[in-house]
Amino acid sequence: MAEVVKSSSRGQVALIQVDNPPVNALSQAVRQGLSDCLERALADAAIEAIVIACEGRTFIAGADIREFGKPHQPPALPAVIDTIEASPKPVVAAIHGTALGGGLEVALGCHFRVGVASAKCGLPEVKLGLLPGAGGTQRLPRLIGAEKALDMIVSGEPIDAAQAHELGLLDAVIDGELVDGAVAFAQQVVGEGRGLRRLSQLPVPACDPNLFEGYRQQIATKKRGFEAPARCIDTVQAAVELPFAEGVVKERELFEGLRAGDQSRAQRHVFFAEREVAKIPDVPKDTPTREVASVGIVGAGTMGGGIAMACANAGLQVTLLDREMSLVEGRLKAIAESYQSSAKRGRMGQAEAEARIARIAGADDYAALASVDLVIEAVFEEMEIKKTVFKQLDAVCKPGAILATNTSTLDVNEIAAATGRPQDVIGLHFFSPANIMRLLEIVRGDHTDKSVIATAMKLSRTLDKIGVLVGVCHGFVGNRILYPYRREALFLVEEGASPQQVDRVITDFGLPMGPFAMSDLAGLDIGWRVRKAQGKPEGERYSGTIADRLCEAGHFGQKTGQGFYRYEAGSRVPKPYPELQSLVEEVSRELGIERREISDEEILKRCIYPMINEGYKILDEGIALRASDIDIVWINGYGFPAYRGGPMFYGELEGLDRVHATICEYRDQHGALWEPSPLLAKAAAEAAESR
């Protein structure tokens, strides 16, 4: 196996270089190599100083996350770092790329740290449901103070070289070749006889004793449900209150507790799942893509406007088209106000705001789209209207232009068939607000060309979104899973629960909103229109009775001030109201349902398990490439808590055999809507065997 840690020397300076692509993760071999090379350098009388650097694109980017589920293998990283720090010879870390996690902890064990101007330093363990477990929570506060250390450790966000230098995390920013600069720095340290700064021996600079309690309150809402952020605060507080030796014991104890927990397992699953979505078996990485520098958007509604902003934010030239110029001008005005407001709040510079506004032009004639590289249709969710738009695009757009529909449920193949170029048609399903939500469902039609798929995946990265390739079915992946979730929530209210009880159970589980508050936000009239068009399903229990009654009375949710909840003027706070309860009880009576107390546990299972079952049906039909893609859709499109890994991973945490057994019970109680997916049954049997 290629050497993952190499040593050489530059005069009296030993150069230890990690070479473990792609990110120089601290695998067992790297830890062993570092330890061996250090030992040799320390034993070599001719060596006066040591530089630790990395080959490839980055300094060490952390522990090897793939090793976490396996038994510890020596040498342990803290031991390697302690050896570095105890060295009687100065050790200098030479940082480029991103020194992250255990990588930064290795650098903190060094006596000095230098980096190039483009380098970044961070402790992102909290994003994996962990905390820095190799002394970082104890050494960093000793170097930059508790408050700055808290910011880095609890946010998990890296800082750039300039900030790091200003904080003292970097002793120098190297112009020119990094290793040369680091060796020169080491020689200077030796030449000047500079003392070795061992962070473990420094006191933590004095800080406000209320810092930690204040920080806990500060993150309570934003990090609701996550365990790791609070534990991160505990470890930094330990750094302030305990001697180093006791502080690292506390750190290790809290780290191991998180590492073994479900939340970190889930968040590590999400880390890899977010990278898997880009891997499409029959569309390899080197598939040619088409240039996308200009985008036409058809439909100046809320979605069209959001998509226009998402594209302008990414530097693309945008033409926003609608049949009435007054509609376009109204939307352009709203977009300009949004950017100006962001500039006023300091979210972006005034010049950047104006540049983005300037990138979006208006039009009311399809001829304006003749030369664009990509068109995204975002008109009314009605098939005939969409087909008319695509016929016009087919007549106007240049050969090779990509024609995309933002439909959230409709058949992309039927839309593509309205053109003479189905190979250039694809679905780009943005989530509202389109300039904020990270998820982009990329819907592959039967004839969609591979270059179009590859271009769409690349576009998702350009827009700083997560693109997930899905197949054609009603609702694709996200909304298809939403239907049974919402259906069961409505049934539970007909059977005895209240909307607020269901919403509380779901928000306690970790979603940002429950199904009823979410319906009120989206607008009850949207689903009402679809139900009226589709008609009541034959032979199965109808879930729309209560929602229909509300819509028939003109109660569409927030937009009318009343839906499942009432909203005071100007307020978005949902408030229960007695007339809703009377309506619900009336519907239960009409349906002959004896209302009963329903437990929170039943509510949770009846809302979440159908999502898992639908996910297995989606997999079985090939609508999603892998279960983890479904998790990414629901985490990024609907706020499923990352610390539960997504609906499919959550099913594994629950035990698929238990999930399957419960679904079978509900089928026996509530009928065929609960019929388990055969693929789930198979996975459940395998889970039972492996138990």
As annotated, the active-site residues are: 105, 125
- Choose which of 9, 19, 36, 65 interacts with ligand T1G (CB under 6 A): 65
Binding to ligand T1G (CB under 6 A) within 656-675 occurs at none
- Residue 428, helix vs strand vs coil: strand
Spatial distance between the Cα atoms of 498 and 484, rounded to a whole number of angstroms: 18
Piece of the chain touching ligand T1G by CB under 6 A; list 94-102, 427-435, 531-539, 564-572: 94-102
Mask 124-153, x = binds ligand T1G (CB under 6 A)? Answer: xx--x-x-xxx-x-----------------
**Element of type H or E holding 605:** helix 600-620
Cβ-based nearer residue to ligand T1G, 274 or 503? 274
Cβ-based nearer residue to ligand T1G, 94 or 99? 99
Mask 487-526, x = binds ligand T1G (CB under 6 A)? Answer: ----------------------------------------
Rounded to 5°, the CA angle 478-484-487 comes to 125
Contact between 72 and ligand T1G by CB under 6 A: the answer reads no
- Choose which of 53, 100, 603, 687 interacts with ligand T1G (CB under 6 A): 100
Q: How far is CA 562 from CA 76, 527, 532, 590, 599, in A?
A: 59, 16, 21, 23, 27
Cβ-based nearer residue to ligand T1G, 98 or 187? 98
Q: How far is CA 69 from CA 266, 268, 346, in A?
A: 12, 10, 42
Contact between 77 and ligand T1G by CB under 6 A: the answer reads yes
Tell the residue number behind the tokens 């302008």, with chain if given. 312
Spatial distance between the Cα atoms of 592 and 79, rounded to a whole number of angstroms: 69
Site size with ligand T1G, rule: CB under 6 A:
25
Q: Report long-range pairs for 413-418 (Cβ below 8 Å, ≥24 apart).
A: 413/445, 413/446, 413/447, 413/472, 414/383, 414/387, 415/383, 415/386, 415/387, 415/390, 416/390, 416/445, 416/446, 416/447, 416/448, 418/386, 418/387, 418/388, 418/390, 418/391, 418/394
Contact between 304 and ligand T1G by CB under 6 A: the answer reads no
Piece of the chain touching ligand T1G by CB under 6 A; list 7-15, 95-103, 140-148, 610-618: 95-103
Binding to ligand T1G (CB under 6 A) within 549-588 occurs at none
Piece of the chain touching ligand T1G by CB under 6 A; list 57-65, 454-462, 501-509, 535-543: 57-65
Q: Which residues contact 284 (CB under 8 A, 6 or more apart)?
A: none
Q: Which residues contact 555 (CB under 8 A, 6 or more apart)?
A: 524, 562, 563
Piece of the chain touching ligand T1G by CB under 6 A; list 123-131, 172-180, 281-289, 557-565: 123-131
Q: What single-letter amino acid sits at 211? A: L
Piece of the chain touching ligand T1G by CB under 6 A; list 99-107, 295-303, 422-430, 514-522: 99-107
Asked if 86 and 49 touch (Cβ cutoff 8 Å), the reply is: no
Contact between 251 and ligand T1G by CB under 6 A: the answer reads no
Token representation of residue 562: 């009343």
Piece of the chain touching ligand T1G by CB under 6 A; list 64-72, 246-254, 373-381, 443-451: 64-72
Residue 15 — φ and ψ, nearest 5°?
-115, 115
- Choose which of 18, 25, 91, 412 interacts with ligand T1G (CB under 6 A): 25
Cβ-based nearer residue to ligand T1G, 232 or 363? 232
Q: How far is the CB of 500 from ligand T1G (least distance, A)?
A: 38
Q: How far is the CB of 679 from ligand T1G (least distance, A)?
A: 25
| Nearest CA among 442, 471, 470 for reference residue 457 | 442
Q: How far is the CB of 78 from ligand T1G (least distance, A)?
A: 8
Asked if 112 and 210 touch (Cβ cutoff 8 Å), the reply is: no
Asked if 403 and 456 touch (Cβ cutoff 8 Å), the reply is: no
Q: How far is the CB of 24 from ligand T1G (least distance, A)?
A: 9
Cβ-based nearer residue to ligand T1G, 266 or 396? 266
Spatial distance between the Cα atoms of 90 and 52, rounded to a whole number of angstroms: 11
- Choose which of 63, 437, 517, 624 interacts with ligand T1G (CB under 6 A): 63
Piece of the chain touching ligand T1G by CB under 6 A; list 62-70, 186-194, 438-446, 611-619: 62-70
Q: How far is the CB of 255 from ligand T1G (least distance, A)?
A: 7
Spatial distance between the Cα atoms of 15 and 594, rounded to a whole number of angstroms: 77
Cβ-based nearer residue to ligand T1G, 270 or 426? 270
Cβ-based nearer residue to ligand T1G, 22 or 346? 22
**No. of helices (H) and no. of strands (E), the chain:** 28, 17
Cβ-based nearer residue to ligand T1G, 123 or 511? 123
Q: How far is CA 490 from CA 445, 497, 615, 676, in A?
A: 33, 9, 20, 20
Binding to ligand T1G (CB under 6 A) within 155-194 occurs at none
Q: How far is the CB of 546 from ligand T1G (least distance, A)?
A: 45
Cβ-based nearer residue to ligand T1G, 21 or 537? 21
| Nearest CA among 609, 608, 610, 602 for reference residue 496 | 602
Q: How far is the CB of 26 from ligand T1G (least distance, A)?
A: 7
- Choose which of 98, 319, 500, 628 interacts with ligand T1G (CB under 6 A): 98
Q: How far is the CB of 334 from ligand T1G (least distance, A)?
A: 34
Q: How far is the CB of 528 from ligand T1G (least distance, A)?
A: 43
SS (H, E, C) 324-385: CHHHHHHHHHHHHHHHHHHHHCCCCCHHHHHHHHHCEEEECCHHHHCCCCEEEECCCCCHHH
Cβ-based nearer residue to ligand T1G, 129 or 306? 129
Contact between 478 and ligand T1G by CB under 6 A: the answer reads no
Asked if 579 and 561 touch (Cβ cutoff 8 Å), the reply is: no
Binding to ligand T1G (CB under 6 A) within 263-302 occurs at 272, 275
Residue-by-residue DSSP string for 500-549: HHHHHHHHHHT-SS-HHHHHHHH-HHHHHHHHHHH-PPTTS----HHHHH
- Choose which of 33, 90, 101, 484 interacts with ligand T1G (CB under 6 A): 101
Spatial distance between the Cα atoms of 57 and 24, rounded to a whole number of angstroms: 9
**Angle, nearest 10°, between helix axes 244-259 and 262-276?**
70
Cβ-based nearer residue to ligand T1G, 132 or 514? 132
Contact residues for ligand T1G, defined by CB under 6 A: 22-23, 25, 61-66, 77, 98, 100-102, 105, 124-125, 128, 130, 132-134, 136, 272, 275
